[in-house]
Amino acid sequence: SDALDGIQTIQVKADLYTVNELHLEPVSGVCDEIVTVAVRLKNTEEVSAVQFALDLPEELEFIPGSEQAATSSHKANGTYKDGRLTMMVYSLSDAALACGDTELLSFKIRLKGESGVYDLTPSDVRIGNMQLENVCSAFYGTKVSISSPLMVYDDSLWLGNVDMTVGTTVSYTVQSAGSSALVIDKISFMDDRFEVMTTLPLEIGKGNKGTVQIKMKPSAEEGDLSAMMNIYSNDPETKMAAVNLKG
């Protein structure tokens, strides 16, 4: 500055605002799995209560009673009706949630859908300060990624010409074509002459093939052979696969 002008004064103006945001954390899991959804609060002023709603797609099922506040001073309550989940975090003693970026609450959902990505977008968000004013400045949803197994199989198995008095052992192959591992839990037969020699459960990694050994016990019967084999797995599309055994 010019010394002849003496001391110069500069006036600075700024608009002050608070940041009070709601964030849902990303979630991923396998079909039929129960996973936890974490909700975070990023706040620059003390908060007394938070409320928001989620319209759940049919592929996501809320687990009643799973909601839990992250702090002992507050309680979490979730109500579900007609596809809408409403969550509230509050304090019976008017305790404040301190400023920061911390977990607010969590709740559990069951992943019922097949492979895909599903949106969880909050609405009707209210972040109440100690004067019970809604000070929500922003809110952010998340994605729920579901992976699921898929079993590719033949619905019939030719046993060949079998000497019924000796019996035989044959191999049956399935492919794991989904986005997660295929697990064969159980195999049953409608004919007690057959049994599984492979130890179950059998886990087959995605993109791989697995083989099941099937034994046919010796029998005095002759003629054409036909029996049903039922394969139970974690494939959400085909929980039970029926295979016709012929020989």
Question: 86: closest CA among 70, 107, 101?
Answer: 107
Query: What are the pLDDT tens digits along the chain (247 aa)?
Result: 455 555 666 664 544 567 999 999 999 999 989 999 999 999 999 999 999 999 999 999 999 999 999 999 999 999 999 999 999 999 999 899 999 999 999 999 999 878 899 999 999 999 999 998 999 999 999 999 999 999 999 999 998 887 777 778 999 999 999 999 999 999 999 998 899 999 999 999 999 999 999 998 887 676 678 899 999 999 988 999 999 998 7
pLDDT value of position 218: 85
**Are residues 39 and 24 in contact, defined by beta-carbon separation less than 8 angstroms?**
yes
pLDDT of residue 241: 97
Q: Do residues 107 and 62 touch, judged by C-beta distance below 8 A?
A: yes
State the Cα–Cα distance between residues 156 and 12, nearest whole angstrom: 82
pLDDT of residue 1: 47
DSSP 75-125: EEEEEEETTEEEEEEE-TT-PPBPSEEEEEEEEEEEE-S-SEEEEE-EEEE
Q: What is the pLDDT of residue 114?
A: 80
pLDDT, residue 168, reads 87
What pLDDT was estimated at residue 231? Answer: 98
What is residue 9's predicted lDDT score, i.e. its pLDDT?
63
- Determine the pLDDT at residue 201: 97
Contact (CB, 8 A) for 229 and 189: yes
